[in-house]
Amino acid sequence: MNPNDEVSTSSTSVWPLWEVFVRSSRGLSHVHAGSLHAPDAAMALRNARDLYTRRNEGVSIWVVPADAIAASDPDAKGSFFESPQGKDYRHATYYTKSEGVKHL
Amino acid sequence: MASQNLQPVPEALSPEDQERAAQLEAEGQAYFDRVMSDDSRIEPKDWMPAAYRKTLLRQISQHAHSEIIGMQPEANWISRAPSLKRKAILMAKVQDEAGHGLYLYSAAETLGQSRDKMMDDLIAGKARYSSIFNYPALTWADMGAIGWLVDGAAICNQVPLCRASFGPYGRAMVRICKEESFHQRQGFEILLELSNGTPAQKQMAQDAVNRWYAPALMMFGPPDDDSPNSKQSMAWNIKRFSNDELRSRFVGMMVEQVRVLGLTLPDSEVRFNEETKKWEHGPLDWEEFKEVLAGRGPCNAQRLERRREAHDDGAWVRVAAAAYAEKQLAKQARKHAEKEYAA
Ligand SMILES: [Fe+2]
Ligand SMILES: [Fe+2]
Ligand SMILES: [Fe+2]
């Protein structure tokens, strides 16, 4: 065994994964930019700044532990998002009779 | 998001479970095929064929390693940059390459590979990276030739990858491509300044172009008839153009740009084929390519040694940061407990 093996097991594996969200300018939402590994939130923020905002891409950063995010099940694609389907009347484009009427 | 997608395979499946698994597999394949024919995107939690996952994992991790190892030829010149401005530019570029490596490692992780495993493979010499970074950067003009030719070839390769069918890879490539254009331009500018300088400087620029031209053309990979995996990658919408197609396009761009530089390409056989409407170039030494890829290039050993050194030098930082995080966590827990007690 080489002594480096020990070093690498204690490297990033113990560092959790963080998801990074960046607000590109005032008035806009934070948008997912990517992820990174860091030992804690403070380091995650600093790393996120260096990794995702080297060119003024942001005015604010959120970091979230990746395992704190709950996601919808990709296998339930159909059923989970079914409800809006067939409900075109929720869109303005459904109402065609008013076409040509100004300011409507 | 990195999700551990590799489901453990149970020891023995009952007939019902086997049937169920086969059904899921068939449904997954059907969904995957639909995504491919719609030219849509696969996301990490989607079902995907094992070979697709394996191909992507290999390609993305090799790409990440290339960005990380690729820092070295240029980092070696930071301390010798001819001016403060050039030093700052070179540092920014090398820092970008580190970023590119990290974006790509993140993308690879979403396929179920741990970052440690990738790092360990690289350090152990088990992983591949682009052969181009095993050539030495001999003079300051090499910083120009690398930016212009090497980053130029990388851009040519990477722009179509922004549309790769695997979402995280495509998104990483979009970010990378945005940053690469400065890399190529700063290299071009270095060469242009040298070319307009003293005769010795111009000669230095020409010499660097002469040395980097062929290795840069080989960055697109082996010729199409010797690239067995290309077809499958194109069927999976990972690759959009063949190696030769991209190489030919690149040659065409370089032909024009080298004129502006007042230099020449070291290739007397470059020509535009009116029939095929494609740029052609002279023969490339594919034996050399294979040798370098197999680890026997001029700088392979040095690059790996340097990577190992950097990893070991950083060990105490990683240990300290982890220890600090743990301490903070314990402190928080204690404070919390005290509050509870007081209340
Ligand atoms: Fe890069
Ligand atoms: Fe690159
Ligand atoms: Fe670059």
What ipTM is given for this predicted complex? 0.86
pLDDT at residue A81 in the model: 82
Task: Give domain status of residue A101, yes or no.
Answer: no
Backbone angles phi, psi at B137, to 5 degrees: -100, 100
End-to-end CA distance of chain A: 75
Q: How many Cβ atoms sit within 10 Å of the Cβ of residue B231?
A: 12
Query: Could you say which DSSP state residue B122 is in?
Result: H
Q: Using an 8 Å Cβ cutoff, are B244 and B296 in contact? A: no
pLDDT at residue B12 in the model: 73
Q: pLDDT: is B6 or B186 the higher one?
A: B186
Q: Do the chains contact at A4 and B1, CB–CB below 8 Å?
A: no
Q: Using an 8 Å Cβ cutoff, are B165 and B36 in contact? A: yes
The stretch B125-152 carries a mean pLDDT of 97
Q: Which of B102, B175, B329 sits opposite A36 (nearest CB)?
A: B102
The stretch B320-337 carries a mean pLDDT of 91
Give residue A1 CA to ligand 2 midpoint distance, Å.
Answer: 33
State the pTM of this model: 0.90
Ligand nearest, relative to CA of residue B149: 3
The stretch B107-126 carries a mean pLDDT of 95
pLDDT at residue B10 in the model: 54
B236, two tokens: 């999976």
Residues of A in contact with B95 (CB under 8 A): 50, 54
B189, two tokens: 């500018």
Q: Is A54 an interface residue toward B (CB < 8 Å)?
A: yes
Q: How far apart are CA B214 and CA B42, in angstroms?
A: 35
Point out the residues of chain A with pLDDT beneath 70: 1-14, 75-78
pLDDT > 90 in chain B, percent: 87
Amino acid present at A92: A
Which range among B11-15, B212-216, B220-224 shows the weakest confidence by mean pLDDT?
Answer: B11-15
Task: Give domain status of residue A87, yes or no.
Answer: no
Q: Using an 8 Å Cβ cutoff, are B117 and B6 in contact? A: no
Q: Which of A11, A13, A74 sits opposite B43 (nearest CB)?
A: A74
pLDDT > 70 in chain B, percent: 97
Task: Give domain status of residue A34, yes or no.
Answer: yes
Whether pLDDT at B41 is above 70: yes
For chain B, strand residue ranges (E) read 271-273, 278-280
B295, two tokens: 């680890």
The stretch B219-242 carries a mean pLDDT of 94
Query: Could you say which DSSP state residue A27 is in?
Result: T
Which range among B3-7, B88-92, B129-133, B307-311 shows the weakest confidence by mean pLDDT?
Answer: B3-7
Backbone angles phi, psi at A21, to 5 degrees: -120, 130
Task: Give domain status of residue A85, yes or no.
Answer: no
Residue B85's pLDDT band, with cuts at 50, 70 and 90, is very high
Q: In Å, how far is A20's CA from the nearest CA of chain B? A: 10
SS3 of residue A101 by DSSP: coil
* Residue B215 CB-density burial (10 A; 0-12 exposed, 13-18 middle, 19+ buried): buried
The pLDDT tens digits for B153-197 are 999 999 999 999 999 999 999 999 999 989 999 999 999 999 999
CATH of the domain at A43: 3.10.20.520
Strand order through the sheet with A60-65: A30-37, A17-23, A60-65
pLDDT at residue A3 in the model: 36
Q: How far apart are CA B241 and CA B234, in angstroms?
A: 7
Residues of A in contact with B318 (CB under 8 A): 7, 10-12, 15
Q: Which residue has the tokens 């170039």?
A: B281
Helix axes B243-261, B151-158, angle to 10 degrees: 140
Residue A58's domain comprises: 3-70
> Measured in whole angstroms, how far is the alpha carbon of residue A42 from the centre of its chain?
19
Characterize the bridge pairing of strands A30-37 and B278-280: unpaired
The pLDDT tens digits for B47-69 are 999 999 999 999 999 999 999 99
pLDDT at residue A12 in the model: 45
Task: Give domain status of residue A46, yes or no.
Answer: yes
Task: Give domain status of residue A83, yes or no.
Answer: no
Q: Which of B59, B69, B36 is nearest to B111 (CA)?
A: B59
Ligand nearest, relative to CA of residue B100: 1
pLDDT at residue A26 in the model: 96
pLDDT at residue A76 in the model: 66
Q: Do the chains contact at A36 and B114, CB–CB below 8 Å?
A: no
Q: How far apart are CA B189 and CA B181, in angstroms?
A: 12
Task: Give domain status of residue A40, yes or no.
Answer: yes
Number of domains in chain A: 1
Q: How far apart are CA B189 and CA B257, in angstroms?
A: 11
Task: Give domain status of residue A78, yes or no.
Answer: no
Q: How far apart are CA A73 and CA A79, in angstroms?
A: 10
SS3 of residue B130 by DSSP: coil
In the structure, ligand 1 is a single-atom ion and the residues with CB under 5 Å from it are B 67, 97, 100
Whether pLDDT at B285 is above 50: yes
Q: Using an 8 Å Cβ cutoff, are B264 and B294 in contact? A: no
SS3 of residue B179 by DSSP: helix
Contacts of A22 (CB under 8 A, 6+ apart): A30, A31, A33, A48, A52, A53, A57, A58, A60, A61, A62
